């Protein structure tokens, strides 16, 4: 059954650039995505990356563009409520899928996800663009992705390398008429920013504008994994 997004949620998304939706994916969809992630980790693609922080036993794994080869992902893309949810929040009659992205942080992973926004990494322009961040395990607020409220209206920031946090080099052909800036040092002055985050459970999701600045803490818990499926 298609999920109807409440008008107050639409307002929150447009003003804040990110919103948490509760219990919008059934246990069957969550289980299906979890099985797909297990297949993905067992057979990662050439795009996969595994990073470790200092002092912890865990690793941060990410991979993407595997939806054509993993049936569970393909089924979710075409048949889950995700597209209908995205279209409503973008105020669009249709939703065009770009790719999926698997992100996992093992217990004891002291590697943070640097502050960035997604749209700078893609050949995509405009404002009717969003990502859906869907956990398949419980994610407490302490390790959940964080967003800077309203930052979807701040313009363009350089894409950053997750391994080093350095900016990618962009040429004139990459930027067109856009002006890119360095991502501000949000962790250096967190009181200056209004940070959004949530405790989330399987079945919940966070939908955010692709220009909303976001990052994620390390997973310092020694028993709780953080496994996430993201769609753009």
Question: Exposure pattern of 75-106 as b/e (b: 16+ CB <10 Å)?
Answer: ebbeebbbbbbbbbbbeeeebeebbbbbbbbb
Is 2 within a domain? Answer: no
Compute the distance between CA of residue 29 and CA of residue 205 in angstroms, rounded to an integer.
12
Q: How far is CA 136 from CA 32, 109, 130, 179, in A?
A: 10, 18, 20, 37
Is 45 within a domain? Answer: yes
Check pLDDT > 90 for residue 178.
no
Residue 68: closest CA among 100, 30, 104, 102: 100
Q: What is the span of the domain harbouring residue 98? A: 7-231
Q: Into how many domains does the chain fold?
A: 1
Is 59 within a domain? Answer: yes
Interior CA angle at 30 toward 29 and 32, to 5°? Answer: 65
Is 128 within a domain? Answer: yes
Is 1 within a domain? Answer: no
Instruction: Check residues 74 and 217 and name the one with the higher pLDDT.
Output: 74
Compute the distance between CA of residue 220 and CA of residue 107 in angstroms, rounded to an integer.
6
pTM of full prediction above 0.75: yes
pLDDT at 193: 98
pLDDT at 222: 44
Is 35 within a domain? Answer: yes
Check pLDDT > 90 for residue 171.
no
CB 33 within 8 A of CB 103: no
Q: Is 169 exposed, middle or buried (0-12, 13-18, 19+ CB in 10 A)?
A: exposed
Helix (H) or strand (E) run with residue 104 in it: strand 100-105
The CATH number of residue 198's host domain is: 2.60.120.620
């Amino acid at each position: 059954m298609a999920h109807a997004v409440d008008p107050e949620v639409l307002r929150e998304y447009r003003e804040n650039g990110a919103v948490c939706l509760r219990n919008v994916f059934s246990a069957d969809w969550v289980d299906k995505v979890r099985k797909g992630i297990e297949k993905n980790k067992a057979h990662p693609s050439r795009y996969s990356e595994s990073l470790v922080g200092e002092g912890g036993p865990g690793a941060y794994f990410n991979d993407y563009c595997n939806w054509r080869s993993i049936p569970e992902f393909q089924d979710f893309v075409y048949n889950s409520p995700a597209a209908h949810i995205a279209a409503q929040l973008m105020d669009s009659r249709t939703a065009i899928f770009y790719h999926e992205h698997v992100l996992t942080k093992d217990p004891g992973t002291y590697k943070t996800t640097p502050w960035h926004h997604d749209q700078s990494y893609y050949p995509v322009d405009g404002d009717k663009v969003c990502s859906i961040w869907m956990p398949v395990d419980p994610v407490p607020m302490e390790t959940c992705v964080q967003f800077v409220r309203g930052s979807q209206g701040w313009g363009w920031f350089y894409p950053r390398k997750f391994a080093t946090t350095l900016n990618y080099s962009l040429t004139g052909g990459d930027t067109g008429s856009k002006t890119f800036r360095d991502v501000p040092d949000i962790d250096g002055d967190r009181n200056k920013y209004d940070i959004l985050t949530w405790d989330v459970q399987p079945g919940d999701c966070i939908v955010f504008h692709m220009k909303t600045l976001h990052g994620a803490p390390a997973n310092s818990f020694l028993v709780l994994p953080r496994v996430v499926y993201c769609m753009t």
